[in-house]
Every structure is written in C-alpha cells, then in structure tokens.
Amino acid sequence: MYLTVKRLFDIVFGFISLVILLPILLPISIILLLTGEGQVFYLQERIGLNNSTFNIFKFATMLKNSLNMGSGSITLKDDFRVTKVGKYLRKSKINELPQIINIINGDISFVGPRPLVYNTFNAYSDEVKFNIYKSKPGLTGIGSVVFRDEESLISSSNFKDPHVFYKNVIAPYKGELELWYLKNKSFTTDLKIILLTAWVIFFKRSRLYEVIFKDLPRRKFEI
C-alpha cells in the first residue's frame, strides 16, 4: 500500500511541480545555454533501485569533464570547477530540479536515499551497499537533510584528501542514516523529510531533524 501511494504521489506531484516550475526552468535553461560552456543539462550515471543504474538529470553547474579534474566526484566549497551561474544554482538547490523528470520516469522518488556515483557508493560498508537501494532513491532524503552543508564540511576538514575524509567520517554516519530510513520509511516520514528539506535550505545549520526524529542516529562530529 505504501509503495502504491508513494508512486501515485510521485506521478501527480511530479507533473504538478513540472508545470509550476516551468517559468523558472525555462529562463534558467536559456541562461545556461548562453553562458558557461553552453550546456543546459548534465546527465550522470547513478545507482538506483536494487543497485541498477540510470542517468540522472541536473542543471549543468560545473565544467565539462569535471569528474577528471580537481577532487573528482567530491565537490568542495568554492570549487574551481563550478561555473558562476552554477554557484547560485547549487547553493539554492535549483540545480536538482530537473530530477523531477527522473521522478516522473520512475527512476527516483521525491524521498529516499540519494542516488550516488560509484566512487561515493563504494565508500559505504558492505552492509549499506547491499541494503541502501532496496528502497528507490530520492530527490531528497534524511542524508540530504543532515548533510545540507556537506561541501563546506569537507572543505573545512583537517584531512588532506577529501576522499579519505568522506570514506572515514561522512560515509559511515550517512550509511547509518540511510539504514534508519529503510527501517522507518512511511508516507508520514516522507512528508516530514520533504518539510525538513525546505527548512534546511534557509536554515542550513538547524538540527530540527533531531527534534522531529528523536530516534535518529546522532552525529559524533560537528558540521
């Protein structure tokens, strides 16, 4: 029943969101076409339901071939690979809006574990890798809420290699969060996560999620 309601919600609100956001999406598409490298969308292979792969839609915010430049699959604060327009789109999370197409297609849901590229996926433990995508990935999720300021966190760490910091510090805790979601997923939980996502966009250091979800695994380091 939950999966049926969730899919119906995704389809209905996916189409509604697409229509409502068209006045925003179209001008941004034109701006991207005329600036930077003239690329509107960025399609990237991500891991989805049952560890299958799909191409995710995002507005192009980084230089082409960015995966083979700088810190690779990890984006840092003030990353040189991010374009001028891309900085605003990433900060406001507008760059994620084209993923509504993926929601309508059924690749992802509005809420679920974020779909990752293989490099960051492999930073998880075997338990997390085996279980995380038994649930369809989402546009947002509890990991996205807690790690709203992930780029700044990685950039300010004492680790010289951001990939080592991600694997040793971020991935273990994020894995705990995603396993928590698998055990507690429900339509009510999803609605709370959607509201919390909107909240942390404006209050990125807020820990309201700890008040809403009292049994959420606690963070052992500061963001």
From first to last of its 223 residues, what are the pLDDT tens digits of the chain?
888 999 999 999 999 999 999 999 999 999 998 886 778 898 989 999 999 999 999 998 887 777 666 666 677 777 778 888 888 888 888 899 999 999 999 999 999 999 999 989 999 999 999 999 999 999 999 999 998 877 777 777 777 778 788 888 889 999 999 999 999 999 999 999 999 999 998 887 889 999 999 999 987 766 5
Q: Return the bridge partners of 54, or none.
A: 46
The reported pLDDT for the residue numbered 67 is 67
Residue 100's closest CA among 91, 108, 90? 108
Please list the helix, strand and coil fractions of the chain in percent, rounded to the nearest 5, in that order. 55, 10, 35
Q: Quick one: residue 75, left, alpha or beta (phi over 0 = left, psi -120 to 50 = alpha)?
A: beta
Domains in the chain: boundaries: 2-212
d(CA 11, CA 17): 10
Q: Is the pTM of this model over 0.85?
A: yes
The predicted pLDDT at position 150 comes to 77
What per-residue confidence (pLDDT) applies to 74? 73
